[in-house]
Amino acid sequence: MSLASRLSASFLAALAIVLIGFSAALGGLAVHHLHRLIDERLDAALTTLAAAAEVGPEGVEWEPDERVLGVGLEAGADQLRWVVRDAGGRLIDRSPNLNPRRLSLELAEGPTSGRFTGPDGRPWMVKSRRLAVPEALQEPVDPSKTPVAGRHSALILVAYAPLGPTEATLNRLGLTLIVLSTVLWLAAAAVNRRLCRRGLAPLTAMAMAARDADAEDRHERLPVPNTGDELEDLGQAFNGLLDRLHETLQQQRRFTGDASHQLRTPLAGLLGQVDVVLRRDRPPEEYRRVLGIVRHKAVHLQQIIESLLFLARTEAEAGRPEPEVIDLAAWVSEHLEGWSGHARGADLKGEASCPGPLWVRVHPLLLAQAVDNLLDNACKYGPPNTSIIVRTGRQAGLASLAVEDQGEGLSTEGQARAFEPFYRAPEAARHDQRGVGLGLAVARRIVTAFGGTLSAQGDLGQGSRFTIELPMSFVPPTRDEVPADPPSELAAESVSD
């Protein structure tokens, strides 16, 4: 079943429930109102009849001739009827519109309250009232005294209302509600079906465009309706996803091409050296020299392959090593001591912008790999005898580690693409700086694995700054924490840019 059909079915089911409930409620109110009107008419008729009787100490006297009775005069189908009985149930009087040959006996002997069906099959509503002398006005009965004619110990006044016209009205109302509800439901079904198809037409168009889309066409997008609703949001979100997918695909293709080029260069040099040395017999010193070159190129090739493997794996595949809590400020000071033997070791300076420890949860060896890559990058692009500052601090619950150099800086494009694999800034090409262009990419991957960020800042001619920001941990380290071994895909030595 299509989405339009499901929406139409849901709407029509809800509309049917509403129409049925409305019709039932309206019918119930009509029944209650009309029956209440009949009951009020019967009460009014009994009050009128009671006014025609005189209640005295000697009994109840029926005197219809002395008072004008406006009840039961007309013989219409909707007019009231009435009868008067004595205490023994004997008929005393009746309304003029009561047919004596058809209904007088049955009405006179019928029930005195409730609803019943007459001999002609028509329904009636009956209500009665008893008139008797109150005990306070009753006189002692004198057996020797002759009873007064026309006086009774009690009278029973009974009024009858025909229900035929009321039920006919209710039947017409019910039929009208059924017909009107059916017509409204059918009209709503036709309109709703058309509106659903019209409203979902943009979704259908997007589905057709998605089926016919070519994965190789980077400019093809879904048609986005200008409706200002969820469909427009869906189209924009899907097109945004396509933009990101195409960008990722281009990055993968560029990465594959750069990787093949980077791998081909050391392999070609390695094979060339081997081919040269195998052309003729050479002295042992020549073999040692060539083997040294082969080893150097093989190490370089190993670094490239291990970095590519690390970048190619997802976090789930690579796995995150077991971290430990360290004081970042103290760790940086200890780590810089290991660079004292480097040619630029004297230029490295550590600074802390805030006092106190900076607790972070990291893997120290992996963090050392990332920081070494940043330091090696700063040493290559910063002029000799210029300071390279490693600054630690905290801000908004984050611990920061920034490596600042006084090199040529980064352009806007360089800041945006600095962490792309194999990206080489034009400044590096002009200075003929050697490297494979993977160090910063590996550093960002390591920092991201710790839940942190690595960013690049700096203008051309004013040096550059690479900042690592890590979530701070409020759990101090314990003595028995032992650092876990680093992943096998990372080499112990840094991968430089």
Span 459-478, pLDDT tens digits: 887 888 999 999 988 755 55
| Euclidean distance between CA atoms 425 and 417, whole angstroms | 9
- Report, as an integer, the average pLDDT of 294-312: 71
Model confidence band, residue 14 (pLDDT cutoffs 50, 70, 90):
very high
Residue 233 in tokens: 């949001």
Give the pLDDT score at 468: 93
Give the pLDDT score at 481: 47
- Report, as an integer, the average pLDDT of 296-304: 73
Evaluate if residue 40 carries a pLDDT over 70. yes
Let me know: does 155 contact 62? Beta carbons within 8 Å.
yes
- Report, as an integer, the average pLDDT of 316-329: 71
Closest CA to 323 of 370, 369, 364, 363: 363
Q: Is 137 helix (H, G, I), strand (E, B) or coil?
A: coil
The top-scoring range by mean pLDDT among 42-46, 263-267, 379-383 is 42-46
Please tell me the least confidently modeled range out of 33-47, 63-77, 321-335: 63-77
| Euclidean distance between CA atoms 357 and 340, whole angstroms | 23
Model confidence band, residue 262 (pLDDT cutoffs 50, 70, 90):
low
Q: What is the pLDDT of residues 323-354, one digit of tens each?
A: 889 999 999 999 888 888 888 888 899 888 88
| Euclidean distance between CA atoms 39 and 30, whole angstroms | 14
- Report, as an integer, the average pLDDT of 209-232: 77
Which domains, ranges and CATH numbers included, belong to the chain?
Answer: 3-134+150-170 (3.30.450), 230-312 (1.10.287.130), 320-471 (3.30.565.10)
Please tell me the least confidently modeled range out of 3-12, 20-29, 423-432: 423-432
Model confidence band, residue 73 (pLDDT cutoffs 50, 70, 90):
confident
Model confidence band, residue 92 (pLDDT cutoffs 50, 70, 90):
confident
| Bridge partner residues of 162 (DSSP) | 124
Helix 201-212 crosses helix 164-199 at what angle (to 10 degrees)?
A: 30
pTM higher than 0.95: no
| Bridge partner residues of 362 (DSSP) | 324
| Bridge partner residues of 407 (DSSP) | none
Give the pLDDT score at 492: 36
Evaluate if residue 105 carries a pLDDT over 50. no
Give the pLDDT score at 146: 46
What is the pairing mode between strands 348-352 and 388-395? parallel
Please tell me the least confidently modeled range out of 121-135, 206-220, 263-277, 430-444: 430-444
With left for phi above 0 and alpha for psi between -120 and 50, is residue 89 left, alpha or beta? left
Residue 97 in tokens: 């519109």
Which residue reads 């709407």 in tokens? 11
Evaluate if residue 7 carries a pLDDT over 60. yes
- Report, as an integer, the average pLDDT of 305-334: 71
Model confidence band, residue 304 (pLDDT cutoffs 50, 70, 90):
low
Evaluate if residue 156 carries a pLDDT over 80. yes
Model confidence band, residue 201 (pLDDT cutoffs 50, 70, 90):
confident
pLDDT mean across residues, the chain: 79
Closest CA to 301 of 325, 257, 351, 266: 266
Evaluate if residue 265 carries a pLDDT over 50. yes
Let me know: does 84 contact 157? Beta carbons within 8 Å.
yes
Give the pLDDT score at 184: 93
